[in-house]
Amino acid sequence: MHMTQRDGALDLLKWLALLSMVLDHLRYVGYSVDILYVPGRLAFPWFCLAMAANLSRARAVTTDGQWRYLGWLLLFSAISEIPYRMYIPDPNTLNVLPTLVLGLLVARGWQQEALQSRLLAVGALTLAALFPERLMFGFFGVLLPLGMLLVIKRPWYFSLLPGLVCLAANQWEVLYYSARFGNRAAILGITTCLIAPLLGLVLLRHAKHLKPPPMRRWAYALYPAHFLALLVLRQLLT
């Protein structure tokens, strides 16, 4: 969402989330770099936290602006699906943006008392419950933006709640099973899921003096573009 005054910490959070996502997707470029799974666990919760930060400032944002935010997410959800499927081998879910769309509707429905917002939130939850296997990060991924919104202005220890939701969204059963056998990536992945909300909240609260390049609407295009760039890299390496 556009704000009249840029929040440097929020822009930094978005850039770091984007970097984490690229590192995660480098695992599919053709080399065995499973350890990149660990920093990759920061990307989705930090994007959800950025969404929550925008919603928490909703008093300063027009209703039209919020609908534009949803519209851009929907547009790039569709645009990104082809490059996502071209790059990720045998994907069994949609790209991450539909999860963020539903998560935005749920969080707004909690925040706003308007009947329309509440109905959209119920519809989003229903879709997430009926088709969790088609959504990246599943049902709990749809709940994560709301979890972030509930704790964004609370003491730091409340961040354990979205940390648990984040872990559940990342197939904690598989991670736990692998961790039991000493898999380093799984152990670090569990830890990262649990502390990702806390790390993001610390950054938002203590990095406001920083002024990274502002991430505006053009940044939506970085999501499909990074798939195409990594696809080209994979072709060059193989």
pLDDT exceeds 80 at position 138: yes
Q: Considering the domain boundaries, does residue 115 fall inside one?
A: yes
**What distances in angstroms separate CA 179 from CA 31, 126, 172, 175, 213, one per listed residue?**
22, 32, 10, 6, 38
H-type helices in 170-218, by residue range?
172-180, 184-206
Tell me the average pLDDT across 56-68.
65
Domain membership of residue 183 as a residue range: 8-237
Contact assessment for residue 144 and residue 125, using Cβ atoms and an 8 Å cutoff:
no
Confidence of residue 59 (pLDDT cuts 50, 70, 90): low
Q: Considering the domain boundaries, does residue 1 fall inside one?
A: no
pLDDT exceeds 70 at position 235: yes
Q: Considering the domain boundaries, does residue 232 fall inside one?
A: yes
Tell me the average pLDDT across 69-82.
95
The pLDDT value recorded for residue 58 is 60
Rounded CA separation 110/99 (Å): 17
Domain count for the chain = 1
The pLDDT value recorded for residue 10 is 95
pLDDT exceeds 70 at position 61: no
Q: Considering the domain boundaries, does residue 180 fall inside one?
A: yes
pLDDT digits (tens, 9 = 90+) for 112-134: 888 999 999 999 999 999 999 99
54-63, 66-75, 180-189: the lowest-pLDDT one = 54-63
pLDDT digits (tens, 9 = 90+) for 194-207: 999 999 999 999 99
The pLDDT value recorded for residue 33 is 85
Percent of the chain with pLDDT over 70: 95
Q: Considering the domain boundaries, does residue 3 fall inside one?
A: no
Confidence of residue 3 (pLDDT cuts 50, 70, 90): very low
Angle between helices 43-56 and 160-169 (to 10 degrees): 130
Q: Considering the domain boundaries, does residue 142 fall inside one?
A: yes
The pLDDT value recorded for residue 1 is 41
The pLDDT value recorded for residue 6 is 78
Q: Considering the domain boundaries, does residue 136 fall inside one?
A: yes
Rounded CA separation 164/170 (Å): 10
Q: Considering the domain boundaries, does residue 186 fall inside one?
A: yes
The pLDDT value recorded for residue 62 is 53
